[in-house]
Structures are given as C-alpha cells and as structure tokens.
Amino acid sequence: MDYVIETKDLTKRFGNFTAVDNISFAVGRGEIFGFLGANGAGKTTAMRMLCGLSRPTSGQGFVAGYDIFRQQEKIKRNIGYMSQKFSLYEDLQVWENMRLFGGIYGVKDSVIFSKIDETLEKLGLSSERNTLVKALPLGWKQKLAFSVAIFHEPQIVFLDEPTGGVDPVTRRQFWELIYEAASRGITIFVTTHYMDEAEYCHRVSIMVDGRIEALDTPHNLRQQFQATTMDEVFHRLARKAQRQGE
C-alpha cells in the first residue's frame, strides 16, 4: 500500500516528561485517519511533529515521503494545516485570505484566481467573495478554513479539532467536504473529541498517556472492545489513563 505517513517509535520528551512515547503507525493515501485521545494524551504534540513544527526526540517518521527530522521545509510544502483555533484572518476579505494562503504555498496567480471562484462556488459562498471573514457565521468560517487548508492541493491535510463549537448540521456538511477531498486523493489526518465523527473515519487510533493503545477501523474496534459505539471504546481506553488532562 501507498503510505503517506509512516512513523516508527516516534518519541518526544520535554525534560523528564514523555509526551509521545514510541508511537508507530502508517496512514495510506486518500485515507481519513482519526487521531483520538483525551486532552493531554499527546495528540497535539504528535501532530506538531508530523507537521514539522516540533523536532522529535527519537524514532523515525516520514510524511509525504520526506523525513520529519531533516526535511521539514519539504513536508510543509506538501501538507495543509487547520488549527484548533479558527485560523483565517478576520479582518481580511474571503478572497484575500485565499489569495494570501495560495501565495504562501507558491500557487501561481492565474491558478489562484480561478481556484478562488471555483472553491467559493462549491461552498455556495460566491456572493461572500468580498465579505470580511469576521462577518461570516462560525460554520461558514470553518468550511472556508478547510477549503483554504487544501487550497494548494496538498498530499495530506492535518485537522486539529476542526469542528469544535459547530452545530451538528454544519458538522455534517463539514464532513461532506472532508469526504470530497479524500475522494480526490488528499489524505485526511483529523483529531476530534466527537465520537460520532470517529465513526466517519476509515481508521482510528486512540492515544492514552502518549502511547497508541488501539488502531483499527471503527467497526473492528467496536468488536474488539465489545462495544456498540465508539464512545464506549474510547471510554474504556481513556479510563486507563494515568495522566491528567491539561
């Protein structure tokens, strides 16, 4: 199989504290990979290492075919990132945000402009092209932020709790966008606290105290833990945690 993320014994220590403890996993191209764990389990640290924002202490890791130790710059070119906090510029217009991020990722001007129209049409936001982002409702902003994160057609997009504070209907629409992107071959690496969203993922990993305690399809995980929902699976694993959440 064609893997776009591969890690082996990836570890990050801050002093005596091991935030991420020897994690090994692989994510295939076009896969929607759910990265679950309670607060403080080490999800964000692991994700930051994969994005080239933080240097691992030991282990190996390849993202989009590049080494996370030495080729962070190349990795950054080939991924998209949507942070936990809403991450567009509120005082810029919708299209200005898109142009900015297009420019940052080196998309050609001619491509940028046709892509802006195309994306806005898809989102049904064509009429909001010149609206300041702060005037948009939260759900639209999140969808827009996702579209901006994949504007440069990255191989992988990292989503850090993308649907926090969004109503169920909008979350549903958001996941439709995710499926659409995955169908185009973009790998989705997503962290979430909503267990119904975990069900939408192709495969799910659950981190407890810096280690990956379970990794499989939602269906297999439910069977393995004899649970009817992912929520139950998660609780069973999370109960073992020694660490307190942040």
Partner 1 sequence: MKQLYAFVQKEFLHIFRDVRTILLIIGIPVAQILIIGFAVSTEVKNIKTAIYDPSNDVSTRQIIDKLAVSEYFNIVEYLSNPDQIEDRFQRGDIQFAMVFGDRFHENLYHNGNASVQLLADATDPNQGTVAANYAAAIISDYAQTMMSDLNIPFQIMTQVQMLYNPSMRSSYDFVPGLMGLIFILICAMMTSIAIVREKETGTMEVLLASPVKPIYIVLAKMAPYFLISWFILIVILLMSVFLLHVPITGNLLWLNVFSLIYIVLSLALGLLISTIVNTQVAAMLASGMGLMMPFMILSGMMFPIESMPTFLKIVSCIIPARWYISGVRKVMIEGAGVEHILPELLILTAMASFIILVSLKNFKKRLE
Q: In terms of C-beta density within 10 A (0-12 exposed, 13-18 middle, 19 or more buried), how is residue 104 classed?
A: exposed
What are 115's two structure tokens? 């892509």
34 touches partner 1 by CB under 8 A: no
Shortest reach from residue 207's CB to partner 1, in Å: 20
Inter-helix orientation angle 109-123/94-104, to 10°: 130
SS (HEC) of 55-69: CCCEEEEEECCEECC
Site membership for partner 1, residue 246 (CB under 8 A): no
**Range 127-156, binding partner 1 (CB under 8 A):** 132
Contact with partner 1 (CB under 8 A): which of 105, 113, 194, 225? 105
Of the candidates 86, 85, 84, 111, the residue with the CA atom closest to the CA atom of residue 98:
111
Q: How far is the CB of 213 from partner 1 (least distance, A)?
A: 27
User: Looking at beta carbons only, is 48 or 203 nearer to partner 1?
Assistant: 48
The answer to the question of residue 95 lying near partner 1 (CB under 8 A) is no
Q: Which is nearer to partner 1, 191 or 237 (CB)?
A: 191
Select from 55, 122, 184, 219 the one that contacts partner 1 (CB under 8 A).
Answer: 55
Residue 177's region, left for phi above 0, alpha for psi from -120 to 50, else beta, is: alpha
The span of 59-67, 71-79, 190-198, 206-214 binding partner 1 (CB under 8 A) equals 71-79
Cβ-contact 30, 186 below 8 angstroms = yes
In the complex, the smallest distance separating the C-beta of residue 150 from partner 1, rounded to whole angstroms, is 13
Q: Identify which range of 87-95, 208-216, 221-229, 232-240 contacts partner 1 by CB under 8 A.
A: 87-95
Give me the half-sphere count of Cα atoms (radius 13 Å) on the Cβ side of residue 63: 30
Q: Which residues bind partner 1 (CB under 8 A)?
A: 51-55, 73, 76-77, 79, 81-92, 96, 99-101, 103-106, 132, 158
